[in-house]
């Protein structure tokens, strides 16, 4: 078991009310809106998806549902990006908010649904459990597999004041309906498939090896690891492999289930400064650090890391420690097979900024407290240097 005094602590799990998985399932979006009696919809998405959304927009128009489409979120969003978008869509009087895109789009859609008629300020809801309501219907359609945002109570924004990533965590951010359509993912570039897939894998892996791991979440975490590890390289090598895309998306969804009750730990805490300081994509940041944090953590929860290794497809070694180490090498091989960078040096990180990154990582206490082995600032420096 993880090193915790309360291995079977009480948890509350808030799942999406409905999950639809299948090819062309995006077309069921219209039924969801019409059958609920909504008259006005706000769709937050990205321009490259306009062709695939056209059939849905035609159906909604025929049903006389007013639709406002916004494509302003094109990168990891900041507080200002959110405030600007909120000001521009307040007038839409939408009954239902729909996010169709990657994690940034979904996070923003979730927050818009909560804040479009809420008098709480963004500063007032930043943190854990501070958002108190959401009155708008929320539907999320992920196009990456991915952040797990479609199933999580989290939304992450960059604070323009200090350039740090901040979390808004609330059960009111869990969507009412999730639609997973592999057809939306077939055109995703290989490098995005790889980075987002490794992000999803990290969610599952950090939940299973978490100081606060829980049996109810373990089953999603370990199955998510198995599905992602078994299908990621297939999807990277052949984006049109719908079976691999579907399995990957289900694994990502399972990672999203882990984010509320258990959440992530050291890998994510150390990856945040790479995003805020160097604007490295979140999934790539995690992939760069994952094997090094695993190596650091193995002594604290060896049995769990051995189970991770077996879920990754490794055979059992002579003992749990050897099995766990094989899991780290399997992750390194996955990263190599996906064709993405394996060191901080490869992406031009300035080694002189490592002390500052370590100091920034120490601020992410909400995640560091979950790590099975304590990480202090010197440990963080050592991990970054190992990853260099």
The per-residue pLDDT for range 4-42, each reduced to its tens digit, is 444 567 888 899 999 999 999 999 999 999 999 999 999
CATH superfamily placement of domain 190-387: Dehydroquinate synthase-like - alpha domain (1.20.1090.10)
The answer on pLDDT for 375 being more than 50 is yes
pLDDT at 7: 56
Q: Which positions ≥6 away from 42 have C-beta within 8 Å?
A: 67, 68, 70, 89, 92, 94, 96, 97, 98, 112, 116
d(CA 117, CA 90): 8
The answer on pLDDT for 2 being more than 50 is no
> If you average pLDDT over every residue of the chain, what do you get?
94
d(CA 11, CA 164): 28
Segment 225-245, tens digit of pLDDT:
999 999 999 999 999 999 999
- Among candidates 251, 347, 333, which has minimal Cα distance to 290? 333
Contact 371, 235 (CB under 8 A): no
What are the boundaries of each domain within the chain?
A: 18-184, 190-387
pLDDT-derived band at 163 (thresholds 50, 70, 90) equals confident
pTM, rounded to two decimals: 0.93
In words, the CATH class of domain 18-184 is alpha beta
C-alpha dist (Å) from residue 242 to 227, 236, 239, 317, 342: 14, 12, 8, 34, 27
List Cβ<8 Å contacts ≥24 apart for 58-62: 59/27, 59/30, 60/30, 60/33
Q: What is the CA radius of gyration of the chain?
A: 20
Could you say which DSSP state residue 252 is in?
H
Joined together, the tokens standing for residue 61 give: 């128009």
d(CA 185, CA 203): 20
| % of the chain at pLDDT higher than 90 | 92
Helix, strand and coil content of the chain, in percent to the nearest 5, comes to: 55, 10, 35
């Amino acid at each position: 078991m993880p090193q915790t005094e309360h291995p079977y602590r009480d948890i509350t799990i808030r799942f999406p009310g409905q999950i639809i998985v299948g090819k062309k399932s995006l077309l069921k979006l219209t039924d969801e809106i019409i059958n609920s009696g909504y008259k006005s919809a706000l769709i937050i998405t990205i321009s490259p998806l306009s062709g695939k959304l056209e059939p849905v927009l035609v159906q909604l128009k025929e049903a006389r549902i007013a639709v406002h489409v916004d494509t302003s979120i094109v990168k990891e969003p900041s507080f200002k990006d959110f405030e600007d978008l909120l000001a521009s869509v307040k007038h839409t009087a939408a009954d239902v908010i729909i996010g169709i895109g990657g994690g940034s789009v979904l996070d923003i859609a979730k927050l818009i649904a909560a804040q479009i008629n809420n008098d709480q300020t963004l500063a007032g809801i930043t943190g854990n459990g501070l958002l108190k309501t959401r009155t708008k219907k929320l539907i999320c359609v992920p196009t990456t597999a991915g952040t797990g945002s479609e199933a999580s109570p989290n939304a992450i924004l960059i604070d323009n004041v200090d350039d740090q990533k901040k979390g808004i965590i609330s059960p009111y951010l869990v969507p009412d309906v999730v639609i997973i359509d592999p057809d939306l993912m077939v055109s995703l570039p290989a490098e995005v498939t790889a980075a987002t897939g490794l992000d999803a894998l990290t969610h599952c892996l950090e939940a299973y090896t978490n100081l606060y791991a829980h049996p109810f979440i373990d089953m999603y975490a370990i199955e998510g690891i198995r599905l992602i590890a078994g299908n990621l390289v297939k999807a990277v090598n052949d984006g049109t492999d719908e079976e691999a895309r579907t399995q990957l998306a289900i694994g990502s969804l399972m990672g999203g289930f882990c984010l509320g009750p258990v959440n992530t730990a050291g890998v994510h805490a150390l990856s945040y400064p790479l995003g805020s300081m160097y604007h490295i994509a979140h999934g790539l940041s995690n992939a760069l650090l994952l094997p090094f944090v695993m190596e650091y953590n193995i002594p604290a929860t060896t049995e769990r890391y051995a189970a991770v290794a077996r879920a990754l497809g490794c055979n059992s070694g002579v003992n749990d420690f050897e099995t766990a180490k094989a899991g780290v090498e399997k992750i390194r091989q996955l990263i190599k097979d996906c064709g993405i960078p394996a060191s901080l040096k490869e992406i031009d990180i300035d080694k002189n900024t490592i002390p500052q990154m370590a100091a920034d990582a120490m601020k992410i206490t909400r995640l560091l407290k979950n790590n099975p082995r304590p990480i202090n600032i010197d440990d963080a420096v050592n991990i970054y240097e190992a990853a260099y």
